[in-house]
């Protein structure tokens, strides 16, 4: 059992859905980013997705692309991203941390070295958006053997033929991308998402979490109601980009989390 498994078991026992928050590590600078991450559990976040800034984020819309640029320009590195996790773990041993990003920084570090460092820092899972199931031997299998969950994305274009391949080595939860396209673009529609979530759940016992296009507490509630929870990223990153204080960002996140938990 990982922290992710424990969290979903606890939420299920409480009759609650999960709220997952994404922030870009190092945006707009290391200290602010660390303060935001430390504030997330108190704002009701069940799982933290920590973005790894990368120069060529092909699945991300402008909001998260710009966050990555700000982080890189501010000197954020993979080591500092791991350090954010270490700092959170000094006070919080229960909230799962999932690192989300692209394979290049991990490949450059070396898979074995990266996995050892991630475990030492208190990371629980990985979402690596540009590694398909055909490349599972590259990172997915080693990560699972090391004790990290490897979380896969399913999308509206993942048909019934492809879905079993996507699910075969996935653990922790399945991340369903509610829209076709990039992050922060369209709004998620619960009526369209519900049958897709049901289709995935018919083929796996894993929780299904829905992300992309969720911007308000109401949307968080309606999407969480038809899944096991929801993820919000761009809307939170936009608050940080607007220069809001850490307290204001946390208050915004709490509204979203409360919405998801009402579902």
Query: Catalytic site residues?
Result: 49, 60
What's the Cα-to-Cα distance from 214 to each of 63, 158, 178, rounded to whole Å?
A: 14, 20, 9
Task: Record the tokens describing residue 177, joined without a space.
Answer: 């991308």
Which of 173, 220, 223 has its CA nearest to residue 194?
A: 223
In the chain, where does DSSP find H-type helix?
A: 3-14, 30-39, 62-73, 78-89, 103-109, 111-121, 140-146, 163-167, 190-201, 217-225, 234-241, 246-262
Q: Please, what is the angle between helix 30-39 and helix 246-262, to 10°?
A: 30
Task: Give the pair of three-digit tokens for residue 130.
Answer: 């540009």
């Amino acid at each position: 059992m990982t922290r992710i498994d424990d969290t979903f078991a606890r939420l299920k026992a409480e009759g609650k859905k999960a709220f997952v928050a994404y922030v870009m590590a190092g945006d707009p600078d290391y200290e602010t980013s660390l303060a935001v991450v430390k504030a997330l559990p108190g704002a009701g976040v069940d799982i933290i997705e920590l973005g790894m800034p990368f120069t060529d984020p092909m699945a991300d819309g402008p909001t998260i692309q710009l966050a990555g640029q700000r982080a890189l320009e501010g000197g954020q590195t993979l080591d500092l991203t791991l350090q954010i996790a270490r700092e959170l773990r000094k006070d919080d041993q229960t909230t799962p941390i999932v690192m989300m990003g692209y394979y290049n920084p991990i490949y450059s570090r070396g898979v074995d070295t990266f996995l050892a460092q991630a475990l030492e820092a208190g990371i629980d899972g990985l979402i690596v958006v540009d590694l398909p199931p055909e490349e599972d031997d590259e990172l997915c299998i080693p990560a699972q053997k090391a004790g990290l969950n490897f979380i896969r994305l399913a999308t509206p274009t993942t048909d019934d033929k492809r879905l079993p391949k996507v699910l075969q080595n996935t653990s922790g939860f399945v991340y369903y991308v509610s829209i076709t396209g990039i992050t922060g673009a369209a709004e998620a529609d619960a009526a369209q998402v519900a049958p897709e979530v049901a289709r995935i759940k018919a083929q796996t016992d894993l929780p299904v979490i829905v992300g992309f296009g969720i911007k308000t507490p109401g949307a968080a509630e309606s999407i969480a109601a038809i899944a096991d929870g929801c993820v919000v990223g761009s809307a939170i990153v936009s608050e940080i980009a607007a220069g809001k204080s850490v307290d204001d960002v946390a208050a915004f996140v709490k509204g979203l989390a409360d919405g998801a938990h009402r579902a």
